[in-house]
Structure 1
Amino acid sequence: MDTEAGILAYDTHSSDIEPGSSVELVIHPDDFGIDENESGAMIVQAREFRGDATVLMIALPSGATLRCRQDSHCAITSGRRVDLILNRPGPFAAFSV
């Protein structure tokens, strides 16, 4: 599936979703890594330190946001441009909209 976050594999576990249909994907904070890139399409909106991790709120070009959990020593600050790196080994769960 072609998304703002890249081309992502998905599994519907259902036969009622037809090719080309709009779906929602279940995305977890550990599914993506972050690569700081001055020409990146996404922007770090906020960061939250949680002791053992830092959670970055990433704004996609559409304005939608993703939470991405990083190591606690992550030094990427709000306002920085980034790219997403897919960490998830398998397909995302997809549900009809």
Structure 2
Amino acid sequence: ELGKVSGRILHTPGHSPGGCCLYFPDEKLVFTGDTLFRSSIGRTDLPGGSYEQITRSVRERLFTLGDDVTFYPGHGPSGLIGEERLSNPYVR
């Protein structure tokens, strides 16, 4: 909890083995750090990175949150999970 706001930590390995996102269901928002970007995903070419893991994390942990959930990446503009689920070229 952060004050009156409750959230969940989602383990989303792939960019790094310990990658996590912060999900706030009542606010319909998730901070995705370096896991998910608009029309992209985080780098997996660094030590500990895994393309297979990051795409699985995005599909199973983020794309299941709901189409109307807004995501805020560590870099660049925010977006909607539903739009990314339909159009992100790295996660099909």
**TM-score, reference length from structure 1:** 0.24
Larger radius of gyration: 1
- Structure with higher RCO (Cα < 8 A, 6+ apart): 1
More helix by share: 2
**TM-score, reference length from structure 2:** 0.25
More strand by share: 1
